Amino acid sequence: STVVLIFEAPEQGFTFTLEPGQKVQVGQSLGH
Amino acid sequence: SQARSKGRGVRWFLVPLGILTGVGAVSYARDERAVVGPWHVHVISSLPLRAVSRLFGSFNSLTLPESLRKPGYHLYAWIFGCNLEEMEDPDLTHYPNLGEFFYRSLKPGARPMDDTSELVSPADGKVLHFGVVTHGQVEQVKGVTYELQALLGGSSNVPQPTGKEDNGDHDQQMAQSSHSANITSEEEFARINGIDYSLDRLIGEEEGHASAYGPRPGNQMYFCVIYLAPGDYHRFHSPVNWIVQTRRHFSGDLFSVSPWMAGLLKDLFVLNERVALLGRWKHGMFSMVPVGATNVGSIVIRFDKDLRTNIKQAYRHGQCTEVRYDQASWLSKGVVVPKGDEMGGFKLG
């Protein structure tokens, strides 16, 4: 199963805090 | 023989004509599904995946003898790498079947929220891909894209609600239950989180906006795809503070969504059965799309008890039913979901 997030955020200033292939858990930061 | 005995010739030419007609009908049906990929993807697509999924679900809802539960679940956990120590109920004999074990809940505090982050992971899993949506295209994997509008649907391809699941009773119930009690808290929630709930429809749904889901000036659209492996905790939580305004249920295939398949099959997430939850957060549009797979065709949304996925029913590719949560609250015109709240999950079959 998969969860896809699509969202609008500021062009300047929004960054993902992720690496491709990274394992994540519920509540862990994806971006600021 | 009868025709020959009566002196008439057998019309053999009708046999290839019949075969050709059959092949043509199958090809037409396959074209409509638009499966694009190598030959083994076409072989997989010819399998009755939805029926297999339902059968798998039924099998795994059979009650296991108590003596088999512990060794059975331990074996499953060993094969798929489940962490049994974080389960809310650690007694494995309390799970009557694999379906219940698969949908297990976690101990309170097992998944702390990152309060410093605006956007947190909605699920346990592996980040398949993330980035910016450009020209309405989302990258499934590097170099393989699909259309955003095909994933989320647009006003043009969403018919009027039909069928049992969308009879409106649920909306009415939600309206009755939450109309008056939560007004103050909703207003407070929207104010604190900077959500402009006065914009009661999603961007692009207004007439004249053919290319839906365009960002507002100064913003852009981002995406992130998280893959849940069979051993992962299979409930999903809210990744942000937001208001869910619309649910779109797309009937579809149930291909595996493993990274291997995502790299092979174009439009995988558009072909598969999925539930698109659309709404608003502080920066504008926000959507979350749980996508089903062969083993987990059943998607559950906690605040939408009428939703039924992977049901035994004929469907056309891209068919979608929509429910708007307008009546859940006259103020926010949607369901208020704080960051970290459990929203639903995936069940076997």
Lowest mean pLDDT among B98-112, B128-142, B298-312, B334-348: B128-142
CB-CB contact of A27 with B314 (8 Å): no
pLDDT tier, B184 (very low <50, low <70, confident <90, very high otherwise): low
Higher pLDDT, B279 or B167: B279
- pLDDT value, residue B149: 86
Determine the straight-line distance between the first and last CA of chain B, rounded to whole angstroms. Answer: 49
Q: What is the DSSP-derived secondary structure letter of residue B340?
A: T
CA B256/CA B272 separation, integer angstroms: 9
Q: Do B283 and A28 touch (CB under 8 A)?
A: no
Lowest mean pLDDT among B107-121, B187-201, B244-258: B187-201
For residue range B128-172, list pLDDT tens digits in order: 999 999 888 888 777 778 888 888 887 544 444 433 444 444 443
Question: Average pLDDT, stretch B103-112?
Answer: 95
Q: Do B289 and A30 touch (CB under 8 A)?
A: no
- pLDDT value, residue B349: 84
Lowest mean pLDDT among B56-70, B72-86, B183-197: B183-197
Q: Do A2 and B293 touch (CB under 8 A)?
A: yes
- pLDDT value, residue B193: 75
- For residue A15, list chain B residues with Cβ-Cβ distance below 8 A: none
Q: Do B114 and A7 touch (CB under 8 A)?
A: no
B143: left (phi over 0), alpha (psi -120 to 50) or beta: left
pLDDT tier, B68 (very low <50, low <70, confident <90, very high otherwise): very high
- For residue B118, list chain A residues with Cβ-Cβ distance below 8 A: 31-32
Q: What is the DSSP-derived secondary structure letter of residue B330?
A: T
> At residue B16, what are phi and psi to the nearest 5 degrees?
-60, -30
